[in-house]
Amino acid sequence: MTNVAILGFGVVGGGVARLITENMKEVTRLGGDGINIKYILDLRDFPNSPFADRVVHDFDIIASDPEIDTVIEVMGGSHPAYEYTVKALRAGKNVITSNKEVVANFGDEFMAIAEEMGVCYRFEASVGGGIPVLSPIINCVGQNKITEVRGILNGTTNYILTKMFSFGDGFEESLRDAQERGYAERNPDADILGTDACRKIAILGALVTGKLVPTENIHTEGITGIRKQDVEASARVGLKIKLLGRCIIGESGVFIMVAPFMLPDSTPLSTVSGVYNAVEVVGEPIGNVMFYGQGAGAGATASAVVGDLMQIMRSGRNCAQPIMVKSLDGVCDFDDFKAQQYIALGGVGAEQVREVFGNVQIISEGEEIAFITQAMREGDVKKKLGALGAELKSRIRLI
Ligand code: HSE
């Protein structure tokens, strides 16, 4: 029997306990052993839960119990998740997490400790919820020359954008709807400002480059500035707006970012709608591979967490641990990123725009002018906008 402890009995913790219990036959067959949830750590008691007798409030009970093989950290946030993870690894226990914040901030340190202690640190559920994506990237595509990993990494913002495109609703209205449906948090900042997607692209980027770029060094924009007019303009030229995390590996180095992008209606990522997530990997010789599915929710996230547990049980702790170091080495300045840009300006006409931006495609002209530029460096676009001195209404890059 493999004894595990679950840290945090919220939505994901409850989903993990339920999956292990209800699918005991499947997990026993796949893992080669039964699983016993020996402890559940939470600040609260759950007197009416079938797991009420496993609830403890002191992490040291778990860390000091030699019977505990694996600790499942699904509490979220950086602290005390960081301290508990270090303590569990140092106590010789495998650790599994769904907590992207702690992986993005401290994943390099955890993996080094895991390596040293001969245990596993796994985090499949931290990106893309139930979508198996990290493990395939580590185990199945690493032999390719990866040129980009990009994705729709946040379900809430994808739901909001889908609503704006499908029903012509505004941002505020669509956010309220996402909150009413329970997708967006009461405080939705981490989703709509791009923070959640930033943590996830940091993790994906680390797997393909070996460098965990600190999140504060990742250019991050959310979707709060996207207006009905931008949605209409992009639809007019056959483009959709998606919040993307992108890690591009080129000759000159690595560009890593989160921002809304306009992409052609025909591309696979543009067809991903609602709360769904998708991750696309581009490499040589494999070409384009896309992973798609539910990026959040108790069942989907629990599936990824328990999948990690199955792999640990089957591998007998011989985990193929990815190596990553926190580094900015080879990471390019965002000002050097080159892309076509959609720009909407007030107070200028086509003639002035052409004088400064050269050959542009005008989408609409009236109270404001909306146009698409040729591919240009970020730094140059900023300079040109400064020179024009017009009122900037919106600016979205194309892919
Ligand atoms: N708030 C996140 C989302 C949950 O909307 O995708 C999963 O990280």
129 alpha carbon to ligand 1 midpoint, in Å? 8
If asked whether residues 269 and 283 sit together in one domain, one would say yes
- Taking CB atoms and a 6 Å cutoff, what residues make up the pocket around ligand 1? 129, 154-156, 191, 196, 295-296
Q: Can you read off the two tokens belonging to residue 90?
A: 């140092």
What is the atom index within ligand 1 of the atom nearest the CA of 154? 6
CA distance 264 to 240: 6
- How confident is the model at residue 204, as a pLDDT? 98
Report pLDDT digits (tens) over 49-104.
999 999 999 999 999 999 999 999 999 999 999 999 999 999 999 999 999 999 99
| Cβ burial, residue 84 (10 Å; 0-12/13-18/19+) | buried
Round to whole Å and give the CA distance between 372 and 339. 10
For residue 185, the CA-to-ligand 1 centroid distance in Å is 9
CATH number at residue 312: 3.40.50.720
Residue 320 confidence (pLDDT): 73
How far away, in angstroms, is 12 Cα from ligand 1 center? Answer: 12
CA of 292 to the centre of ligand 1 (A): 15
CB 274 within 8 Å of CB 183: no
Specify if 330 maps to a domain: no
Q: Are strands 376-377 and 391-398 parallel, antiparallel or unpaired?
A: unpaired
Residues 232 and 375 in one domain: no
Q: Do 304 and 343 lie in a common domain? A: no
Which atom from ligand 1 is nearest to the alpha carbon of 129?
7
Do 288 and 346 fall within a single domain? Answer: no
The active-site residue out of 200, 240, 242, 393 is 200
pLDDT of amino acid 280: 98
Domain limits for position 90: 2-130+298-324
Query: Which protein residue has the closest C-alpha to ligand 1 atom 7?
Result: 296
How far, in Å, from the CA of 204 to the mean position of ligand 1?
A: 16
CATH number at residue 245: 3.30.360.10
Mutating to test ligand 1, I would choose from 196, 242, 279 the residue with most ligand atoms within 8 A of its C-beta, which is 196
User: Distances from the Cα of 154 to the Cαs of 52, 101, 157, 166, 201, in angstroms?
Assistant: 33, 14, 6, 18, 11
For residues 171-195, one letter each, b for 16 or more C-beta atoms within 10 angstroms of the residue's C-beta and e for the rest, the string is beebbebbeeeebbeeebebbbbbb
For residues 14 and 70, state if they share a domain: yes
Could you tell me if residue 329 is inside a domain? no
- Of ligand 1's listed atoms, the one at least distance from the Cα of 296 is 7
Q: How far is the CA of 277 from the centre of ligand 1 (A)?
A: 9
CATH number of domain containing 363:
3.30.70.1150
Measured from the CA of 200, which atom of ligand 1 is nearest?
8
Q: Is 240 a catalytic residue?
A: no
- Domain total of the chain: 3
Q: Residue 282 has what pLDDT?
A: 98
The atom of ligand 1 lying closest to the CA of 190 is: 1
Query: Does residue 212 share a domain with residue 346?
Result: no
Same domain, 197 and 341: no
Give the whole-angstrom CA distance, residue 112 versus residue 324: 9
Q: Are 159 and 203 in a shared domain?
A: yes
Q: Which two tokens stand for residue 98?
A: 């769904």
Residue nearest to ligand 1 atom 2, measured at CA:
154
Which residues, given as ranges, of the chain have pLDDT below 70? Answer: none
Q: For residue range 351-390, list pLDDT tens digits in order.
A: 999 999 999 999 999 999 999 999 999 999 999 999 999 9
SS (H, E, C) the chain: CEEEEEECCCHHHHHHHHHHHHCHHHHHHHHCCCEEEEEEECCCCCCCCCCHHHEECCHHHHHCCCCEEEEEECCCCCCCHHHHHHHHHHCCCEEEECCHHHHHHHHHHHHHHHHHHCCCEECHHHCCCCCCCHHHHHHCCCCCEEEEEEEECCHHHHHHHHHHHHHCCCHHHHHHHHHHCCCCCCCCHHHHCCHHHHHHHHHHHHHHHCEECCHHHCEECCCCCCCHHHHHHHHHCCEEEEEEEEEEEECCEEEEEEEEEEEECCCHHHHCCCCEEEEEEEEECCEEEEEEEECCCHHHHHHHHHHHHHHHHHHCCCCCCCCCEECCCCECCHHHCEECEEEEEECCCHHHHHHHHCCCEEEEECCEEEEECCCEEHHHHHHHHHHHCCEEEEEEEEC
Q: How many CB atoms lie within 10 A of CB 37?
A: 17
Residue to probe by mutation, ligand 1, list 131, 183, 195, 303, most atoms within 8 Å of CB: 183
Residue 318: per-residue pLDDT: 83
